[in-house]
Amino acid sequence: MSKRKPKQKPNQTSPQSTPERRKARRQRVKTVLKFLKILGFPTSVGGFAGVLILIRAGQYRAAVILGVVSVTALILAVGGKFVKELTETILDKIEERLEERTETLAEWIVNGLENITIGLWWRLTSRFKHKYYSSLIDKFGKIKTEGFTAGLPGIHLEKAFVPLKVAHESPHNIPREIPAARQPFDSGRQVWYFLAQPKNYRRITILAPPGSGKSTLLQHLTLIYAQQRHRKYKVPKRIPILFRLRDVREQLIQRNPPQLNELIRQEVKRLPACKELKPPKNFFERQLENGKCLVMLDGLDEVANPAERTKVSQWAKQQMEDYPQTSFILTSRPHGYDSELFDEQVDIVLEVQPFTLAQMKTFIKGWYTHIKISLDGDTPAVRQEARESAEDLIEALLQNPAIRQMASNPLLITMIATVHYLGNALPGKRVKLYKEICDVLLGRRLLARKSALHLSADNNQTLLQIFALDLMQRGTQKFTFEECQRLIQDRLSRFARNRLTPKEWLKQVKEDIGLLAEKELGSYEFAHLSFQEYLAAVQIKASNQEALLVQNFHQSQWAETIRLYAAQADATSLIEAALSNPSVQSLSLAYDCLQEAEEVNPETKERLEQILEEGLESADPNIAPMAAQVRLARRLERLIEIDVTRMMDRHPITCAEYQLFANEHLNSQPCFQPGRAKQPILGISYLDALGFCNWLSATASSFSRSEEGQQTPHYYRLPSLVEVQENQQRKPLRHDCWTMDGTPGEQKGIRIIKVELPQHYVKLLNYLSAGEWEKADRETAQIMSRVDSIERFPASELRMLDRMWLQYSQGRFGLGVQVWLWEHLGGNPSFPRSWCLNSARNPQESLAALARRWKECNLESKLPLFEFEVITVNERGEEIRREPGQAKFFSEDLGNGVALEMVAIPGGEFWMGSPEGEERYSGYDGREEPQHKVTLKPFFLGKTPITQAQWEAVMGNNPSRFKGKNRPVEKVSWYDATKFCEKLSEKTGRKYRLPSEAQWEFSCRAGTTTPFHFGETITTDLANYCGKDRTEHGWKGTYANEPQGIYREETTPVGSFPPNAFGLYDMHGNVWEWCADHWHENYKGAPSDKTIWLNSNKNNKRLLRGGSWGFNPEDCRCAVRVRFSPGNDDLDFGFRVEVAGHLFP
């Protein structure tokens, strides 16, 4: 087993370095010495004189002690550096060891103090209470799994109890005999939440199916109150009273049943420590009247006779009426609870929720630790063995969705853990697990509960097998009583010899065994679909009906039954059925059968492996995609449940799987080297990772069985950083994966999260997936308006909206991004625009309220990142370096699918102008001098020159000669450009303008000092300029020693060439770019910051920078500056925009 680095707790301090430790220790020593001096202890060699004085006074013992101290001090003084270093090293080791054991030591001390406190409380309380609480602790201190001990020791409740969560619903909404449906996406609360509010929830009903932990929950409450640990949960002090209703049934069904206080006295006398002890006179009566008790009535459904159960229910209702100040908890399976009877008395009905994956892990670790220690003693080796066994079982659950679903039930997970402990590995032998569980539920557990057995376990299972196969053949999970009667009447008559009717049998299987459930009135089904599938597989094997599975091999609802059959038989025929008619779904299932099969023909096995394993590397365009789709489909079927709405991948997406996406959206070239098809895809960009998830959301239904028939809206996204940290692998992955926050890093891969959404998110999901941002914005407003104010909007839904928008807009339009923009740049939101405009408040007040709510919910607001590659060339134009880069950005939504991306430019210093010796046109002499230092604060600059699509979205026309929506707009004057900025500012609410000349050159250089941001020269592979000699103008097509290139004679789409280190495109060539400054002949008197340099002549010429498609490379240098009239609108004049809000640092 691999050693894993323990997860550091949030409040845990990092270990001190040796120098820090020694410094802190010396300070403590000084403090101690100062304290000793105050007390009169000698701390110097003067102590020897004190020894003589003590000897003369006859105080020999004190003299010896003082002598030892003095000698020690002398040795330290004489020994010098050696003794000091030795002592320091020893102390370092001691402190290191103590630090390693800090948590264990602290836990031991706290437990000790807690026990002392409890002991002291018992001494102060009455003798009766002491004995009563001691008896409760003794009786309920261990978990007892009825019928399933397997010779293992009882488990201490404190050691293995996992707090259950409950979802609540008003009892008025619960039809008779049918529990309220759990609200979707309600994560539930612990029962302590309700006990802490006795005024609102004094009488509570808890409903749950068999094995859900109802009785264990009440035991836990009893134990906590008896041990006086209730303060931890901030609940009122109560005296716990717990009844198993089946144990007091006889008293309660009498004509004159005892009152609650009398029943308590009777039951107290049965407690071992209280047999000879009488409670004070009227003790329980007074406590009940004063509301000082918590009365727990467990297992109403276990009173089997309906007439008797009604009497018990009426008695419980009467006690609630007689003691209105007392808190009650009543538990039952759904069928045993009459909501109409308790309607006026019960304040709330709670339903126990299934274990989440985190709860499963907690239970398994606690269970294994306790069992191992109980049997083998508490040693480090035993604890290590327990951890390894628990991790093995958890790993088995993670690999098997069907068993993992069963493990959400506390009883079944206990059975699973027990079977695993006894040596049956999971999931390879999971059919044995199913058999063991059926044996327990159908036989041993009923005997342990002293329930009457009308049929043997084998006979009961045979009838259930017939049922299961019939349901599979009819393609349903539900059946009625009439269907049940028709199906089993003859077989039941033979088994029971006419002593048991179908109705009585169905009732026992539903109420006592728990394998069937009445989930809707009059409609029955198996408690877990996996039991139906298992029992159907057993029946097929017993009746030799394998042909039925071959016939239905391509039907998705038969998949698990086929797997379970293969696990106990020869799967050759099943695999041959897939090979004869191959599809992604059938081959995926065949591969499952191969892995689980009891036996497979070697030739059949080889044929399947050639397609699915070797096929991943195949050059055949038909085989490789199918093999990759099979792999991806199997992945989606094995996602791990994080909670009721999220499922997570366990392993990174492989190269072969990513190639499926690349074939459709990037290019058809292989994304990986031969031999790496099964390896994780690494080194992809954040945007491509988001794109993969969007592609998967759109296409998964075409090849994955797990998507078939799923009606709950869902999508796939990248995980958050927290989700990755909370779901670490048993063996840590070698590479990081991309997360929603887009944190940069090298060699990152992809892991996916499947998110199920509420039904009212369907429209939003459809609009986002189609890229219809305006419709998605309006639908978002509809969702947000479901709550009357943003202050009450749930944090979970804010996070959900943010992640959906981030995922589908590839990081541009998340809520957190908009909050950041409003706080730093002001303006109007790109999203949620409709919500802001339709709010009762004005848009700015709405945004302010959203920002406050965002912070209250501890949600993150930040800008997204994009990645790129930065290229450097030498004077021959040869690439000498290629480095990854990333930059923050935001997008302005200009409407009609047009966006303007603004890149964050960091602040800093640079030398503006060209240095001496830089080659330039003689006509430019003096224009780029003197070089001077300029300091700039951060700002945002357009990622590219303004495009024709962006111009049209703002201005409504297109003056360009070289048409193309993604080409830069040209034939615009300086006046045109400033008018665009004014209209853009009006549209967005942010102050856009042309950049100052200093901002433009700083952004172009991006930290370089060479003539071009690419290095010593450029080529026509790196920028759009005239790369040919033009003798008529005397222009050279080269700058340094690079070869001549091409002359395109027109603009090119923006972003066609590599960016600089800030992530800006087309800073060299394509179009000249207007700046805000007036023209000055040189830099004498130029500002040393971003200030726009103006003069008094408003008609003065203006500046352009960067060169263009029609000029030579020399004119494209970082330092080149040219002048033109502000009204000039040549066909190579364009611009880009800048924005820096007053709050942006």
DSSP string, 1086-1120: --SSS-----S-TTS-EEEES--TTS-GGGGSTT-
For the beta carbon of residue 85, count every other beta carbon within 10 angstroms: 11
How confident is the model at residue 311, as a pLDDT? 93
Backbone φ/ψ region at 145: left (φ over 0), alpha (ψ -120 to 50), beta? beta
How confident is the model at residue 121, as a pLDDT? 45
How confident is the model at residue 65, as a pLDDT? 64
- Say if 163-354 and 889-945+990-1135 have the same CATH topology: no
Tell me the helices (H) and strands (E) count for the chain, helix number first: 41, 26
How confident is the model at residue 19, as a pLDDT? 58
Q: Which of 880, 1048, 1005 is nearest to 1056 (CA)?
A: 1048
Q: Are residues 522 and 480 in contact, defined by beta-carbon separation less than 8 angstroms?
A: yes
Class of domain 163-354: alpha beta
Round to whole Å and give the CA distance between 629 and 1012: 46
How confident is the model at residue 613, as a pLDDT? 83
| Tokens coding 253 | 């069904």
Cis peptide before 832 (omega within 30 of 0): yes
How confident is the model at residue 1057, as a pLDDT? 98
Give the β-pairing of 865-873 and 879-895. Answer: antiparallel
How confident is the model at residue 55, as a pLDDT? 64
How confident is the model at residue 15, as a pLDDT? 47
Q: Are residues 658 and 681 in contact, defined by beta-carbon separation less than 8 angstroms?
A: yes
How confident is the model at residue 273, as a pLDDT? 61
Token look-up 């897939």 returns 578
Chunk the chain into consecutive blocks of 10 residues (it has 1145) and report each block's average pLDDT, rounded to whole numbers.
36 49 57 46 51 61 63 55 60 57 53 51 60 86 61 71 69 36 51 92 88 86 91 93 90 92 87 69 90 94 83 94 95 82 87 85 89 88 91 84 80 81 62 80 65 78 92 89 88 83 84 76 81 92 93 86 90 90 86 86 89 82 85 88 86 91 77 83 88 91 66 88 79 74 75 92 92 90 89 90 91 88 85 81 86 90 89 96 92 90 95 89 79 95 98 97 97 98 94 96 97 97 95 84 95 97 98 96 90 82 95 95 94 95 49
For the beta carbon of residue 1113, count every other beta carbon within 10 angstroms: 30
Q: Are residues 652 and 735 in contact, defined by beta-carbon separation less than 8 angstroms?
A: yes
Round to whole Å and give the CA distance between 747 and 739: 13
Round to whole Å and give the CA distance between 695 and 708: 17
How confident is the model at residue 437, as a pLDDT? 78
Q: In what order do the strands lie in the sheet with 239-244?
A: 166-169, 348-352, 203-207, 327-332, 293-298, 239-244
How confident is the model at residue 343, as a pLDDT? 79
Cis peptide before 930 (omega within 30 of 0): yes
Round to whole Å and give the CA distance between 137 and 468: 43
CA–CA distances in Å: residue 315 to residues 202, 321, 341, 348, 627: 18, 10, 11, 19, 65
| Tokens coding 621 | 């365009």
Where does 889-945+990-1135 sit in CATH, by number? 3.90.1580.10
| Tokens coding 924 | 């430019």
Burial environment of residue 104 by CB neighbours within 10 A (0 to 12, 13 to 18, 19 or more): exposed
Q: Are residues 407 and 397 in contact, defined by beta-carbon separation less than 8 angstroms?
A: yes
Q: Are residues 1135 and 1051 in contact, defined by beta-carbon separation less than 8 angstroms?
A: no
Q: Where would I find the beta strands (DSSP E) of 876-963?
A: 879-895, 898-905, 908-912, 932-936, 939-942
Round to whole Å and give the CA distance between 270 and 226: 17
List alpha helices for 323-356, DSSP H: 339-342
Domain boundaries, the chain: 18-100, 163-354, 355-451, 613-756, 759-867, 889-945+990-1135
| Tokens coding 113 | 């103090």
Q: Are residues 596 and 563 in contact, defined by beta-carbon separation less than 8 angstroms?
A: yes
Q: Are residues 301 and 508 in contact, defined by beta-carbon separation less than 8 angstroms?
A: no
Amino acid 1131 reads L
